[in-house]
Amino acid sequence: MTSAVKPIEIQLGLAWNWQYDADFIRALDTVCHREGVASFIVSHHNLHQVQQEVERDGRRFLWFLDRASDEDKHFLELNQILQSRGTFFLNAHRHYLRASDKAEIHRELLQQGVHVPLTFVLPPHDLQPHLNPSVVEAFAKPFVVKPARGSGGRGVLTNVTKLDEITQTRMKQRDQRFLIQQKIEPLMLQERRAWFRVYYVCGQVISCWWCDKTHRYEMLTNEDLQVVNIKELERIVRVIARLTELDFFSSEVALDRTGRYVVVDYVNTPCDMRLQSKYANAVPDIIVQQIIEIIVTYIRQQLTTRINPLLPL
Alpha-carbon gap, residue 94 to 193, rounded angstroms: 35
- The residues near 1 (Cβ < 8 Å, ≥ 6 apart) are none
pLDDT at 66: 97
Alpha-carbon gap, residue 168 to 96, rounded angstroms: 28
Residue 153 pLDDT level (bands cut at 50, 70, 90): low
What digits encode the pLDDT tens for the residues 168-196? 989 999 999 999 999 999 999 989 999 99
Annotate 154-188 with b (16+ C-beta within 10 A) or e (fewer). ebbbeebeeeebbeebbeebeebbbbbbbbbebee
First and final C-alpha spacing in the chain: 24
More confident residue, 73 or 11: 11
pLDDT at 311: 44
pLDDT at 310: 45
Cβ atoms < 10 Å from Cβ of 117: 19
> What one-character-per-residue DSSP string does 145-156 give?
EEESS--TTTT-
On the question of a cis peptide bond just before residue 270, with omega within 30 degrees of 0, the verdict is: yes
Alpha-carbon gap, residue 107 to 118, rounded angstroms: 11
Handedness of CA 272, 278, 282, 288 (dihedral sign): positive
Q: For residue 273, what is the DSSP state?
A: -
Q: Of all residues in the chain, what percent carry a pLDDT higher than 90?
A: 80
Q: Which of 61-75, 157-171, 223-237, 291-305 has the lowest mean pLDDT?
A: 157-171
pLDDT at 137: 78
Q: Are 252 and 268 in contact (CB under 8 A)?
A: yes
Alpha-carbon gap, residue 135 to 119, rounded angstroms: 11
pLDDT at 258: 95
Q: What share of the chain is helix, strand, coil (3-state, %, to 5)?
A: 35, 25, 40
| 143-147 sheet: strands from edge to edge | 119-122, 178-182, 143-147, 157-160
What mean pLDDT do residues 273-282 have?
A: 97
